[in-house]
Structure 1
Amino acid sequence: MKKPIFKMFLLTALLAGLYSCNSSDEVSSKSPEASTFKIINVTTHDGRPFSTGNTKTSLTGKYVDNPGGGVMMQAFYWDVPSGGNWWNTVGTKVTAWGNAGIGSIWLPPASKAQNGAFSMGYDPTDYFDFGDYNQNGSVETRFGSKTELVNLITKAHAENMKVYADIVINHNSGGASESNPFTGTNTWTNFTGIASGKFKRTYADFYKNSFGNNDEGAFGGFPDLCHAAPNVQDWLWKRTDGVGKYYKNTMKFDGWRFDYVKGFGSWVVRDWNANVGGFSVGELWDSNVNILNDWANNANSSVFDFACYYKMNDAFDGNNLNLLTDDMMWKRNPYKAVTFVTNHDTDEIWAKELAYAYILTHEGYPTIFYRDYEEWLNKAKLNNLIWIHNNKATGNTSILYADNDEYIARRNGYNGNPGLVVYINNSTATLERWIQTNWSSKQIKDFTGNSTWYPTTQGDQWVKIQCPPKSYTVWSLNI
């Protein structure tokens, strides 16, 4: 994507007024309004206050090394149309997504599950049946055939997009009944008859067994896979022809979204990553940022920022933007935080445009939900925010102002990229505020088009910006 052409502005005292907030009169000295600039009481996670003058920096002070750092598309939703056409449907989108600046797509579980052509894949039976074996009532999966999946991955790679597989390894479903000496009953744990003939498993590979009665958690009454079992480790991540390496080296997946990681130890994802490689993110459904951060560090993996998700829900829908100053995973470690507004499991935030403005201007790895992008929201506005993320959202974060209705933050830029200032207004009136930038005597503009102002920052870097009601503006140098 081409960057805007740099323009030089020779400003004289006479011309300075032309580039003021209201395009008619420049402020020659700091307005009294600036003296009421609010200092936010933000502390580190261990309670120590920041001491950064009039602004409060993010908890890490880290930056995203390249402009934007990437945007992920969740390329499905719950109960996408059955009939085996989903891989082809997504295939028709990837070129446009790539042109819009999407850098990766997350696909649903791709292998055959118990409900065959009607399953969303979260009840896996045969990890090596991608829609090419006649089992569980169908040849194709709900999403299509193996050939169609390979074509989709190939097409995405041609658009320089990475493809992430949804990996469900906590539980299995669709096995045959067998006598289980550890339970004294029959259990549905015999997977020796799977059509691919790969990763055969029996009761010895599920809890309870010789390794114990249980691990971190079972799910939905499904047989709980035992990752301590050598056969399970071998077939999931150790063997060159096992699940992880086959998905990566043969199917050409670039990374993993691990489902329900509360159900097994973080060491499982850590060992998978060490043996297989590729990007990984865990679904750890918990709003406690300490739990998220500990898991991410122990698993050596990214994690979905549920702390951010729930804070955004309370802030935007509860009309309390002060909550956006609270602790979140992206503030602890932006390199391991995957932010999102909604997904196939949860859709609680009503003020979605404001939430997307938040995650696409802040640190972390933002995710866009398929239905938000393709069906429910304004695609042009999302494309604009993706462009802003990829081209302007660099550097660490300083929160400049927050109250019930307003939130203003600054990305401080990196390696010649000037960064940005985002202003979110959740009130019913147009608002204006003086803020301090990193730019002295520079003209700035709103890159969303929601404001027509072209203000010039003062010599001390202060400037007045505005934001329409229930909207957002994103300011940066007018170059």
Structure 2
Amino acid sequence: MQRSRVPLISSGSLIFKKMQRSRVPLSSSGSLIFKKMQRRACATSPWATACRCLVYPPRAREIGAWGLAIAHCDCVLPLHLASPKNTAPASAIVAHPLMATYPEISPAHIKFINYFIRPTPSIMRTLFLPLLLFATLSISAQDFMLQGWYWDYDKDGCNGYSGPNWASVLAGQVNSLDDAGFTYVWLPPMSRASFGACSNGYDPKDLYDLGEFGLGRTGFGTRGEVDAIIGALNARGMQAVADVVYNHRDGGSPEDNPAVKAYIETHFNGNGKQPYPSDRFRCRLPLGGAYGAGTYYIKISSKTQASSYVSRTYKFYPTIASSSLPYQGEVNESEPNGGGDCGQPFNLAQLNQDIVATLFDFSGCYTDEFALTITAADFNAGGDDLLIFLNNTNGYSDHRIYDIYYEPADGSPGFNIPLSDLVYQTYTDFTALPSGQGGMNFENFRPNTSNAATTFLSGDWDSKIFFYDIVQAEASTATTYNDWTNWLLTDVGVGGLRMDAVKHFPPSFVGQLLDDLAGRGQTPDMVVGELFDGNPNLLKAWVDDVTLATTSSSAVVRVFDFTLRNALKEASDNGGYDLRNVFNASLRDAVGLPGFNAVTFVNNHDFRGPGEPIQQDPMLGYAYILTNNQIGVPTVFYPDFFGKPIPNAPTVNLSAEISQLMAIHRAHIFGSPTIEYLNRFGTNRSADYQSGQDSRSLIYQMSGGAGAQQVVVAINYAYETLKVNQELAPANGVGGGSTFLELTGNAFNTTATLGNDRKLLIDVPARSYAVYILSEALPLTLNAFTALPLDKGVVQLDWSTSLEEDLAEFVLETSEDGFNFRLLHQAIPNNRPATYRHLDDRPWINSVRYYRLRTRELDGSEHLSEVRTVWGDPSGQLAAFPNPTDHLLRVRGTGATRGWQLMAADGRSFAAPVRAANDNEIIVDLGEVPAGVYVLRRGEQVVRVVRSPR
């Protein structure tokens, strides 16, 4: 459990306090205990009588979060910026001394405080920058989210797949996801879908059925498997994010719908109104009373005869509700068939048969007439229905039944059936589902009784793009969805919400939902809307509108940054794109939306068509979103992380690279309050390019993050080495001679020394990236520290000194990811020049190991050496050295000289001569290979190679 944060006394001042991280999952009971501890700390403080202290705990998993304390009277109100549950009275903010310079701001102006002091948009520009100039960090960047699925994820019995349900597959990967550093896992829609167990869930039917009630699994799994995956995530301190669909629903039972009938027959008249989709209604004519055996002449036409609707193909299909007659196949109409109204023939129809028809203009007649004969044996005389379907096959039109002439079989006179007897039905009755919950009827869908006359069925909010379109403004709709969402949070145990298709319903619905949840004590940590649009102004406007509609002080809403994703796609796949545009593309940089209101991504399930996924080196896009802490919560796509092949996308397994950058972010970037894009358009930072160019690279610097470090990131999109002396921004304590350490192992230079002109040498291979951090110097003279691979996977570690004074011990540390180091070996210093050696013969886990030397002085201070990297092969125990190399590469662990393949990061293969050095070592000649990063492969044996420039 996290420690209680007692308010700090500092009247009239700003105080920052570094918070510690805990991976203890925050259960409901644990959260309550923690809140009690917080309240007790306030209540027992000596200044509690002066005013009420409000302290809310941040999430249990936050690392190094900075808390902002604002003094008012004798009470300090810490606003822990990493927490989504921050509030403080507006009067406390306005009374703060810093606010004296803003007399126009009163408590009435401040809507609520959340993360930082968050005013209404009208004063955002005035309040935000001056008050928190140095505290505007991207607090949410500490979190990382995995989209834990893809469009056609594996479902047992579907698309040729036979195996475990996806929920179980994902549950088996929870430990790996936690080890990688993910804090959220976004799950696919979990509710029972109208298209059955092979659906991915975006056609929700029974909201409360997560794979139970005797109906078997959903596409995701059974309820038991859902409970297992969420329990496993929570046990490792992660949270499940539910994909929730509030825009539409499908699969209800048929019910009479007078609102749809009124819209089609009365209110639809063109003039901007759109026709009601023909695949979502059927017509019902009661049989057994006034209507029975006989011939029905059913007349169909376009209501408006607009050019956009005529010549549209549809299928005329009649059947009897009680019929067990099998399907009679499909036939084509015979034109002209306008019938008696047009002086033309009609077509004969039969029950349970499709007639493919088109409303052609024959001599000014836009009518199809079908004669259907029903015998007494075809229906139940005690009560039955003639059902007529008019589904379009290639785009909706405004065709409808405008007349039915009935000739009774007993020879009595025929007559026109009043259209008032023709009933329209929709599949919108959700009142008798197996779960018994989440009931709705046609009044919850568009059009309903209240809006049939006014809706146009057009625009972002009213269009029936997906299934049956929900009317969120109906009070019963809000109640149903509010209750369901609360159930997901409390009963199912999810911790976040990914809201589907928020572009298509009012933001006010989200506002009232968050208020309702807050009233029940539920404030999900992750609430993100999917507004599928690349216009940054629309994306920001949605966040602003939800914010204005939300009265609770604990709600935070985010939006997916499609604008940035579009730029990253161009950066990777368009060789003529100027990379510096990326710096202006994020919602933070384009329209000023704070990073904690955004969620960034590189690929997702919606980009699945030909050419839509990023085709070339998606890792470069991930490098940007994972190392820029200002732009939002990074999201990683499951196929990109695990190497799952999907259509139209390259198969890449980026788990090691992504995990490494997440570790870098946690250890060195999180909390950085400032970022400077060094090679931006109009930069005042000079650069000397030896190779590469500013238009094909991204270079930026962050300061003051975890460990108060300087971090420089360089991403090279060019197909040539990026070698540039880049001027850095000034930083306290950083001057000429400062050493920067490269962390990823990608760069040609493992260290770089800052010149007196504040220029740092950046040396990055083609289509690669590097992260340089400021490194501390050792307090002794270290002549050498080397890591040499030997036979059978053994690594020899040597270091030698020429000066040792006041040293307590040497500590060799090792890591599999370059950032989470642990003890390997301890040595007692000789306190004189000496040489030390240690052999690491542990089994290999990954294909790379990192080593560093920690020195401890007698006074307790510590210093770290540069990191040494050794590449090996965990399956075949290969080890390559020297690596990087500009000519000959020695590979130990094999004597095979045939079958090797050398492949560059862009997929190109290169020839490299291989010869045997001995029975267990080969030499690979890379002299004619361009500088860059390569994979050397033979069967299951793989080793990563860096060819450095000469």
Aligned mate of 2:505, from 264, 279, 300: 264
1:388 aligns with 2:664: yes
Question: 2:192 maps to which residue?
Answer: 112
Cα distance in 2 between the residues matched to 1:155 and 1:387: 22
Aligned mate of 2:154, from 81, 85, 100: 81
Cα distance in 2 between the residues matched to 1:419 and 1:189: 58
Provide closer, same or farther for how the CA distance between residues 97 and 419 of structure 1 changes in structure 2, counting only shifts above 3 A.
farther
AA at the equivalent of 1:189: T
Paired residue secondary structure (2:492): coil
Paired residue secondary structure (1:404): helix
Cα distance in 1 between the residues matched to 2:716 and 2:201: 40
Cα distance in 1 between the residues matched to 2:428 and 2:638: 35
Question: 2:613 maps to which residue?
Answer: 348
Paired residue secondary structure (1:377): coil
Question: 1:475 maps to which residue?
Answer: 772
Question: 1:246 maps to which residue?
Answer: 487
Question: 2:588 maps to which residue?
Answer: 330
Superposed displacement of residue 120, structure 1: 0.4
Cα distance in 2 between the residues matched to 1:211 and 1:459: 73
> Comparing 213-222 with 123-132, which one deviates more in the overlay?
213-222
With normalisation by structure 1, the TM-score equals: 0.82
Cα distance in 2 between the residues matched to 1:445 and 1:60: 26
Cα distance in 1 between the residues matched to 2:760 and 2:241: 42
Question: 2:137 maps to which residue?
Answer: 63
Paired residue secondary structure (1:182): helix
Q: Deviations 1:350-377 (Å, cap 9, x if unpaired)?
A: 2301101011011210000001000122
1:202 aligns with 2:441: yes
AA at the equivalent of 1:105: V
> Comparing 164-173 with 464-473, which one deviates more in the overlay?
464-473
AA at the equivalent of 1:150: D
Q: Deviations 1:2-36 (Å, cap 9, x if unpaired)?
A: 9xxxxxxxxxxxxxxxxxxxxxxxxxxxxxxxxxx
Paired residue secondary structure (2:741): strand
Cα distance in 1 between the residues matched to 2:562 and 2:708: 29
Cα distance in 2 between the residues matched to 1:127 and 1:95: 29
Question: 2:743 maps to which residue?
Answer: 447
Q: Deviations 1:204-255 (Å, cap 9, x if unpaired)?
A: 1111113423571445451111111111111111xxxx11110001111111
Question: 1:15 maps to which residue?
Answer: none
Q: Which has the larger radius of gyration?
A: 2
Preserved CA contact (<8 Å) 1:211 1:229: no
Question: 2:561 maps to which residue?
Answer: 305
Aligned mate of 1:232, from 443, 459, 477: 477
Question: 2:654 maps to which residue?
Answer: 378
Paired residue secondary structure (2:169): helix
AA at the equivalent of 1:476: I
Cα distance in 1 between the residues matched to 2:613 and 2:135: 30
Paired residue secondary structure (2:695): coil
- Cα RMSD (Å): 2.1
Paired residue secondary structure (2:677): strand
Superposed displacement of residue 281, structure 1: 0.3
1:361 aligns with 2:627: yes
Paired residue secondary structure (1:401): coil
With normalisation by structure 2, the TM-score equals: 0.42
Cα distance in 2 between the residues matched to 1:474 and 1:457: 15
Matches within 5 A, 1:150-229: 150-184=227-261, 185-212=424-451, 213=455, 216-229=461-474
1:144 aligns with 2:221: yes
1:280 aligns with 2:538: no
Superposed displacement of residue 127, structure 1: 0.7
Deviating 4+ runs (over 4 angstroms): none
Cα distance in 2 between the residues matched to 1:110 and 1:122: 9
Provide closer, same or farther for how the CA distance between residues 286 and 158 of structure 1 changes in structure 2, counting only shifts above 3 A.
same
Provide closer, same or farther for how the CA distance between residues 476 and 225 of structure 1 changes in structure 2, counting only shifts above 3 A.
same
1:126 aligns with 2:206: yes
Superposed displacement of residue 129, structure 1: 0.2
Superposed displacement of residue 381, structure 1: 1.3
Question: 2:294 maps to which residue?
Answer: none
Cα distance in 2 between the residues matched to 1:150 and 1:243: 17
Q: Deviations 1:42-64 (Å, cap 9, x if unpaired)?
A: xxxxxxxxxxxxxxxxx998313
1:401 aligns with 2:659: no
Superposed displacement of residue 456, structure 1: 2.1
Cα distance in 1 between the residues matched to 2:464 and 2:500: 11
Cα distance in 2 between the residues matched to 1:257 and 1:430: 40
AA at the equivalent of 1:355: G
Preserved CA contact (<8 Å) 2:669 2:705: no
Q: Would you tell me which structure has more helix in proportion to its own residues?
A: 1
AA at the equivalent of 1:371: P
> Comparing 458-467 with 83-92, which one deviates more in the overlay?
458-467
Paired residue secondary structure (1:314): helix
Question: 1:462 maps to which residue?
Answer: 759
Q: Which runs of 5+ in 1 are unaligned?
A: 3-58
Q: Which runs of 5+ in 2 are unaligned?
A: 1-20, 23-132, 157-163, 262-423, 518-522, 548-556, 644-651, 681-693, 777-950
Question: 2:71 maps to which residue?
Answer: none
Provide closer, same or farther for how the CA distance between residues 157 and 200 of structure 1 changes in structure 2, counting only shifts above 3 A.
same
Cα distance in 2 between the residues matched to 1:323 and 1:445: 28
Cα distance in 2 between the residues matched to 1:217 and 1:445: 56
- RCO (CA 8 Å, sep 6+): is it higher in 1 or 2? 1
Tell me the number of residue pairs that the alignment of Structure 1 and Structure 2 aligns. Answer: 415
Preserved CA contact (<8 Å) 1:73 1:106: yes
Cα distance in 1 between the residues matched to 2:546 and 2:768: 38
AA at the equivalent of 2:603: T
AA at the equivalent of 1:194: L
Cα distance in 2 between the residues matched to 1:150 and 1:97: 18
Preserved CA contact (<8 Å) 2:668 2:707: no
Cα distance in 2 between the residues matched to 1:192 and 1:391: 52
Preserved CA contact (<8 Å) 2:669 2:706: no
Cα distance in 1 between the residues matched to 2:442 and 2:725: 66
Superposed displacement of residue 465, structure 1: 1.6
Paired residue secondary structure (2:425): strand
> Comparing 376-385 with 110-119, which one deviates more in the overlay?
376-385
Provide closer, same or farther for how the CA distance between residues 94 and 218 of structure 1 changes in structure 2, counting only shifts above 3 A.
farther
Cα distance in 1 between the residues matched to 2:239 and 2:659: 19
Provide closer, same or farther for how the CA distance between residues 227 and 234 of structure 1 changes in structure 2, counting only shifts above 3 A.
same
Cα distance in 2 between the residues matched to 1:116 and 1:218: 25
Q: Would you tell me which structure has more strand in proportion to its own residues?
A: 2
Preserved CA contact (<8 Å) 2:713 2:769: yes
Question: 1:427 maps to which residue?
Answer: 718
AA at the equivalent of 2:746: N
Preserved CA contact (<8 Å) 1:305 1:330: no
Paired residue secondary structure (1:384): helix
Provide closer, same or farther for how the CA distance between residues 286 and 61 of structure 1 changes in structure 2, counting only shifts above 3 A.
farther
AA at the equivalent of 1:398: E
Paired residue secondary structure (2:461): coil
Superposed displacement of residue 325, structure 1: 2.5
Provide closer, same or farther for how the CA distance between residues 221 and 464 of structure 1 changes in structure 2, counting only shifts above 3 A.
closer
